[in-house]
Amino acid sequence: MTDQQQPAPAAGTATGQREKKPRLFYLDLVRALAAILIVITHFNNPYLSNRPIFANQPFGIYIGSLGVSLFLIISGAALMYTYGDEPKLDLKRFYHRRFLGIYPMFWLAFIIANAWLFLRAGGHVLSQAQPWTIVFSMLGVDGLVANTALPTFYTLGEWFLGFILLFYVVFPLLRYGVRNHPWITAVIVAALYVLTLIFQPRVFGLPIDLLLTTRLPELVFGMFFIRYIKRVPWMAAIVAIVFLAAQEIHPLLTGLLGVTFVGIAAFLVLVWAAHWLDVRAVRVPVKTVAKYSYPIFLVHHVLIMQIFTVVNPASLSTTGAYLLFAVDFIIIMALSIALYRLERTTITYVRSMIAKA
């Protein structure tokens, strides 16, 4: 959903092509871990919520909330890494890249998943949504809209996909603020966050943790980190580790406040630890999971639900649960790689259909 590459032409180059920025291992590490946390979340809940594998409430917050928080921070960081140095953001190219990065794969996954579910249901459409609401699925916001209590054809992508699309809409404004007025931007973001926590607005009936104003600190922190911080001092890492340890023993912060601070602290620790983890044996699998994080995000939930239609979670031993997770993850990776390649092939095919002779 985000990239670490610099797509714009570099001034003064003979070819007009901008050199790609080097991949940052810590961005891949955070992205890969966030993807795995989300998979663990939907494997445990609701199927094994009474005896979850790994953890269900790390550092005093829901494991899914930690995964989402890390994804939000990395989304802000990755976009700022890619586009933060450009004097002027080329909006046409930016949104074109975002469109190609999100929609073709989402549409393919949506069609394939619903075709499979249609067959599994004996040729019946089980959704109770009105036909016109398919527009929300076409736009990739059906998961977000479903949280307003309006029935949609939501199948995959969660609310998070719609939220990221909203972030893309406001990114140019946030980028301008972070680049040109960092202190003012930080104050405005903090004020919106605090006001939202105090007044608890229900915008269109959305839960408060799905509102942009409550997630701006994570998004903007990632942008600030790439633009101004870049490295984690050892003292900051120690403070973050102590905070996370305290949260694990006896949560000091709960709710959204806990999610925000735990997510940021976990990000700092991971970035700090990445220096020692950046060895080939770790880097290669991390890079693989990070590369396929978006298709993993799309396919994992549907696959897990289908697995638990044939596996009774109540009959699983602890060892069996971990083995089933390993099997699930292998299948998820295989499907994610297949979806990634199918999307590339489909885009090439469609382009060949419309290419001028």
Instruction: Annotate 109-142 with DSSP letters as a single string.
Output: HHHHHHHHHHHHTTS-------GGGHHHHHHT-H
User: What ranges in 5-62 are assigned the alpha helix state H?
Assistant: 25-44
pLDDT of 67 > 80? The answer is yes
Per-residue pLDDT, averaged over 27-53, amounts to 96
pLDDT at res. 334: 98
**Comparing 335 with 4, which gets the higher pLDDT?**
335
* pLDDT tier at 126, thresholds 50, 70, 90: confident
**Does position 296 have pLDDT exceeding 50, yes or no?**
yes
Q: In one letter, which amino acid is 43?
A: F
Residue found under tokens 């694990």: 248
- CA–CA distance, 225 with 245 (Å, rounded to integer): 23
DSSP category for residue 227: I
Domain boundaries, given as residue ranges, for the chain: 25-354
| CA distances (Å), origin 3, targets 52, 72, 83, 231 | 32, 13, 10, 20
Say what the pLDDT of residue 5 is: 41
Cα distance between residue 223 and residue 26, in whole Å: 14
20 pLDDT more than 80? no
pLDDT at position 1 is 52
Positive/negative CA dihedral, 182, 219, 206, 48: negative
pLDDT greater than 60 at residue 14: no
- pLDDT for the residue numbered 18: 52
Q: Tell me what pLDDT residue 7 has.
A: 35
Half-sphere exposure of 6 (CA within 13 A, CB side): 17
pLDDT at 228 over 50: yes
End-to-end CA distance of the chain: 32
Q: Which of 124-128, 146-150, 191-195 has the highest mean pLDDT?
A: 191-195
224 closest CA partner among 81, 353, 118: 81
Q: Which pLDDT belongs to residue 21?
A: 83
* Eight-class DSSP state of 61: S
pLDDT digits (tens, 9 = 90+) for 143-189: 999 999 899 999 998 899 999 999 999 999 999 999 999 999 999 99
Q: pLDDT at residue 16 above 50?
A: no
User: Alpha helices of the chain — where are they, by DSSP H?
Assistant: 25-44, 63-83, 91-120, 134-139, 142-146, 158-180, 182-199, 212-224, 234-249, 255-277, 280-291, 293-307, 318-354
% of the chain residues with pLDDT over 90: 89
pLDDT tens digits for 91-100?
999 999 999 9
DSSP conformational letter for 273:
H
pLDDT-derived band at 251 (thresholds 50, 70, 90) equals very high
Distance CA 270, CA 26 (A): 7
CA distances from 33 to 22, 252, 270, 293 (A): 20, 24, 9, 10
- Rounded mean pLDDT of 26-50? 96
Q: Give the pLDDT of residue 157.
A: 87
Average pLDDT taken over every residue of the chain: 93
Per-residue model confidence (pLDDT) at position 11:
33
Residue with tokens 């955070």: 30
pLDDT in tens, 198-227: 999 989 999 999 999 999 999 999 999 999
